[in-house]
């Protein structure tokens, strides 16, 4: 008898009411740097470890009067290849041969919403593949303050950040988690 948990059991769907978070999976729309949908189905999954840290970030942002808006979470390896094939820029797109933390289910792309549901000014749009997206870039004082607020919430919740994308947070040591293909998911995202 195999006592190993199935791969499916380690990934959870991020959805209401369990997770009080807004979700707009940009890669299931035309509203991303490729201009085309990457995901056929807008399911939002995370590894159960990352889901626990997300729950903490949701709670912390709520205490301050903000909500989180998720743009991306688990990204199947097939989607990582689609992004890489469109824009093979290792500054913004992880080479799928080594894998992205997203393709391991331990990364999120997100922003903060104010109490009216309006995204805070972060100086660039999500998915802006430009040096202005880097933490510490010369953006307005308001945008810098908002980036620091998001960084503070996410760091306090236990997330690591990626210096070149203000929206990207991941678990520490993401490579200890396996890569996930679309066929590994209970609900396929790519077909």
Q: Strand pairing partners for 22?
A: 69
What are the CA-CA distances from residue 154 to residues 39, 107, 109, 110, 130 (Å)?
A: 26, 11, 11, 10, 22
The catalytic position among 13, 78, 165, 173 is 165
Buried b (16+ CB within 10 A) or exposed e, 111-132: bbbeeeeebbebbbebbbeeee
- Residue 46: closest CA among 190, 174, 191: 174
Identify whether 78 is a catalytic site residue.
Answer: no
Phi, psi of 169, deg, nearest 5: -135, 145
Q: Which residues are catalytic?
A: 165
């Amino acid at each position: 008898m195999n006592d190993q948990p199935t791969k499916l059991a380690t990934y959870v769907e991020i959805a209401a009411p369990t997770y009080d978070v807004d979700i707009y999976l940009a890669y299931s729309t035309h509203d991303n740097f490729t201009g085309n949908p990457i995901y056929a189905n807008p399911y939002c999954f995370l590894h159960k470890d990352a889901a626990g840290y997300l729950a903490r970030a949701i709670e912390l942002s709520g205490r301050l009067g903000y909500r989180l808006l998720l743009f991306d979470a688990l990204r199947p390896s097939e989607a990582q290849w689609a992004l890489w094939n469109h824009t093979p820029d290792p500054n913004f797109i992880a080479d799928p041969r080594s894998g992205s933390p997203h393709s391991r289910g331990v990364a999120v792309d997100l922003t903060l919403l104010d109490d009216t549901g309006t995204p805070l000014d972060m100086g660039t749009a999500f998915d802006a593949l430009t040096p202005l997206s880097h933490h510490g870039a010369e953006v307005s004082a308001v945008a810098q303050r908002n980036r620091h607020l998001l960084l503070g919430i996410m760091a306090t919740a236990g997330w690591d950040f990626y210096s070149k994308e203000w929206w990207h947070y991941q678990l520490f040591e993401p490579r200890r988690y396996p890569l996930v293909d679309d066929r590994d998911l209970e609900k396929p995202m790519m077909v």
